[in-house]
Amino acid sequence: MKFDREIESFINNYVKALKEKNAVAFIGAGMSVSQGFFDWKKLLKPIADKLGLDIDEEQHDLTSLAQFFVDDHGGVRGQLDQILVEEYGKTTMTVSENHRILVRLPIQIYWTTNYDRLIEKALLEQGKTPDIKKAQSDLTVNLPKRDAIIYKMHGDIETVSETVLTKHEYEDYNKKRELFSNAFKSDYVSRTFLFIGFSFTDPNLDYLISRIRTVTTPFLGQGLNIQICV
C-alpha cells in the first residue's frame, strides 16, 4: 500500500538523519497527556465554565476562547495565568517511557509547543545536558557542553505570563518571537523532522502548518527532504 511505503520511506530517511546527527523531534501535547497533563480542551474547560460556555461547542476555536476570556477581564492575563498554574500544579512531573525512548536517540534538537518540562527532565535522567530556549533572550546565549537544544516555542509554565495561548498571541508570534520563527525556519529547511504527539484537534497544529507552508513555499520543487509524522 502507498501509505505503508511512505511510512517505510520516512523511517529510512529518519534513521539516516539520526546517523548524520541531522534529526529533529517536534513534540506536541499528546506526549504529555499520558502523564496527567491536559490537552487543550481539558486545559481551557475551567475558562469556558467561568464564561458560561460549553467547551464541546468551543473546541474548534480554543485560542479565541482564551482571547475572549482575557478580553472579558480587561485585556489582563492574570486570571488565565492563575488557572494554568493551578492546573499544571495538580500534575506530578513523571517522565513517560516514550520520553525515555526518545531521549536515548542521538537527537540534538527538540522543538515543542508544550509548557511542561518533561523533555528536559528525561534528558537529565539520561545524563544529558539540555540547553533550554524558552524566551527570545535564551537564543542569544549557548549553554557550554550541551547535549541537546530544546526550543520551547510557546514558552514554559515556570514563566507563565510569557506563554503563547491566546489568539492575538498566536497572530503576533512572528513579530514578538521572531528569533524562534527564524530558528524554526532554518531547522525546517535543513533538517529531518519527526512530528509526534499532535492531533488534528490541536490548535497548535493549525498554526504550525501555516508556518510550515510559509517556510516551504519558496522551496517547492527544489528537492528538500521534509518529513512529517503526526
- Which residues form the catalytic set? 154
Chain position carrying cell 517505510? 8
What does the alpha-carbon distance between residue 107 and residue 104 come to, in Å, rounded to a whole number? 8
Q: What angle do CA 228, 167, 28 make, to 5 degrees?
A: 30
What does the alpha-carbon distance between residue 215 and residue 220 come to, in Å, rounded to a whole number? 10
Pair 203, 40: CB distance under 8 Å: yes
At 209, which amino acid appears?
I
Burial bucket for residue 127 (CB in 10 Å: 0-12, 13-18, 19+): exposed
Q: What are phi and psi of 76, to 5 degrees?
A: -105, 135
Packed helices 40-51 and 78-89: angle between N→C axes, nearest 10 degrees: 130
Q: Which residues contact 94 (CB under 8 A, 6 or more apart)?
A: 35, 36
Pseudo-torsion of CA 222, 223, 229, 230, nearest 10°?
Answer: 20
